């Protein structure tokens, strides 16, 4: 049998589909239909069909539709995945927020570990109820950013007052977590830096150092640093009846609050309505929570740092994911142009 690492993107997804089918058996969901969504940090599938023993879906969830996640070994651990689900449950319980709700397996557990021939290691799997809503990432309007700012402030408010259980463990997205040792397993990014093309290595280094200085200036006190979503770009936000609903809490962890804002805005700096989008999010957010002048001053530095962080992640993925390997040179060139435009050295 061909080694998993040597398969094409489609070949890897095919083997992981067999793993997904095995995982669904743990939920009594063998007769449901699977549709592949994404194969990146997690491999995700949409599940359509009735799962015996579960109550009928009601708002904000769609009936008989779920999200199955196969978590990549070496990034999240069983403890950190369980901690993510703890926060989701608390957001739903304490604030009534529309967030993905974990589904227990037949044994009452929220995590299921599956192993199949052809995939070199077991994977932890989780099943979530499917939120109702629509994406608006391609044509965002100020009203979308206004709704997102309100949601982001509510998440941050909840995190400020919530007391996680002693077992709670999530990533720390400080400078080291973004650029050198990301994720709960503290993957070493030094080989990634060494493998960067000459066209971007020094530029990425300058940007990361600029963000180090910004982070040092802000400090890490509870007024500026805490539990955040950490990946709340519009590709991870649904809209329904004028409200925003966040999905994909896989990267949630402790970070500067302004980093969360930078993630939401970073993709839109070249749009004609950039200023309107930025103003709408900031006004909405600060209506509920204050942002200091230094936080606003460093916002664009955080956006540049986010670009570098994502590119380092993409380069690390390219080592084992064919789709990333096929595109990484084009992405490097895009990031060089983006950072050349927006980063000011010194």
In this structure, how many other beta carbons lie within 10 angstroms of the beta carbon of residue 314? Answer: 19
The confidence score (pLDDT) of residue 89 equals: 95
For 148-202, the pLDDT digits (tens) are 999 999 999 999 999 999 999 999 999 999 999 988 778 899 999 999 999 999 9
Query: How far is residue 345's CA from residue 210's CA, in Å, rounded to a whole number?
Result: 8
Beta pairing class for 171-172 and 112-114: unpaired
Query: How far is residue 49's CA from residue 14's CA, in Å, rounded to a whole number?
Result: 21
Tokens of 244: 């925003």
183, exposed or middle or buried, with CB in 10 Å at 0-12, 13-18, 19+?
Answer: buried
Identify any residues that bridge with 131 across adjacent strands, giving them in sequence order. Answer: 61
Instruction: Quote the crossing angle between the two packed helices 142-161 and 78-95, to the nearest 10°.
Output: 100
Which fold is adopted by the domain 142-342?
Answer: Aminoglycoside 3'-phosphotransferase; Chain: A, domain 2 (3.90.1200)
Digitized pLDDT (tens) for each residue of the chain, 346 residues in all:
899 989 999 999 999 999 999 999 999 998 899 999 999 889 999 999 998 888 777 889 999 999 999 998 888 999 999 999 999 999 999 999 999 999 999 999 999 999 999 999 999 999 999 999 999 999 999 999 999 999 999 999 999 999 999 999 999 999 999 999 988 778 899 999 999 999 999 999 999 999 999 999 999 999 999 999 999 999 999 999 999 999 999 999 999 999 999 999 999 999 999 999 999 999 999 999 999 999 999 999 999 999 999 999 999 999 889 999 999 999 999 999 999 999 976 4
- CATH 3.90.1200.10 domain position(s) in the chain: 142-342
For 1-30, the pLDDT digits (tens) are 899 989 999 999 999 999 999 999 999 998
Question: Among 74, 26, 60, 110, which Cα is nearest to 247's?
Answer: 60
Name the CATH superfamily for 4-131: Phosphorylase Kinase; domain 1 (3.30.200.20)
- CATH 3.30.200.20 domain position(s) in the chain: 4-131
Strand stretches in the chain, DSSP E: 33-39, 42-48, 61-71, 112-114, 123-131, 171-172, 225-228, 237-240, 243-246, 253-256
End-to-end C-alpha distance for the chain, whole angstroms: 53
Question: Among 149, 157, 159, which Cα is nearest to 243's?
Answer: 149
- Is the CB of residue 282 less than 8 Å from the CB of residue 149? yes
Compute the C-alpha angle 326/318/299, nearest 5°.
105
The confidence score (pLDDT) of residue 346 equals: 47
The confidence score (pLDDT) of residue 345 equals: 60
Question: Among 128, 110, 125, which Cα is nearest to 19's?
Answer: 125
């Amino acid at each position: 049998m061909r080694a998993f690492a040597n398969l094409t993107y489609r070949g890897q997804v095919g083997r992981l589909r067999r793993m997904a089918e095995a995982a669904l058996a743990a939920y009594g969901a063998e007769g449901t239909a699977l549709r592949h969504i994404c194969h990146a940090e997690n491999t995700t599938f949409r599940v359509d069909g009735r799962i015996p023993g579960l109550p009928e879906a009601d708002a904000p969830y769609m009936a008989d539709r779920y999200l199955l996640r196969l978590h990549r070994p070496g990034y999240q651990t069983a403890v950190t995945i369980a901690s993510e689900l703890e926060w989701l449950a608390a957001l739903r319980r304490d604030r009534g927020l529309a967030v993905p709700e974990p589904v227990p397996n037949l044994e009452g557990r929220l995590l299921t570990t599956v192993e199949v021939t052809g995939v070199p290691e077991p994977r932890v799997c989780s099943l979530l109820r499917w939120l109702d809503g629509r994406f608006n990432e391609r044509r965002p309007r100020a009203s979308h950013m206004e709704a997102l700012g309100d949601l982001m402030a509510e998440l941050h408010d909840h995190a400020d007052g919530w007391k996680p259980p002693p077992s709670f463990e999530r990533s720390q997205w400080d400078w080291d977590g973004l650029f050198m040792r990301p994720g709960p397993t503290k993957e070493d990014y030094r080989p990634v830096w060494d493998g960067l093309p000459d066209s971007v290595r020094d530029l990425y280094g300058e940007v990361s150092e600029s963000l180090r200085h910004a982070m040092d200036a802000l400090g890490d006190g509870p007024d500026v640093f805490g539990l955040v979503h950490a990946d709340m770009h519009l590709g991870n936000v649904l809209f329904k009846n004028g409200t925003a609903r966040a999905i994909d809490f896989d990267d949630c962890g402790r970070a500067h609050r302004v980093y969360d804002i930078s993630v939401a805005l970073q993709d839109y700096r070249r749009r004609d309505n950039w200023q309107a989008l930025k103003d709408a999010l900031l006004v909405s957010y600060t209506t509920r929570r204050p942002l200091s002048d230094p936080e606003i001053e460093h916002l664009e530095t955080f956006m540049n740092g986010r670009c570098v962080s994502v590119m380092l992640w993409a380069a690390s993925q390219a080592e084992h994911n064919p789709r990333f390997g096929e595109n990484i040179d084009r992405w490097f060139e895009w990031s060089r142009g983006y950072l050349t435009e927006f980063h000011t050295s010194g």
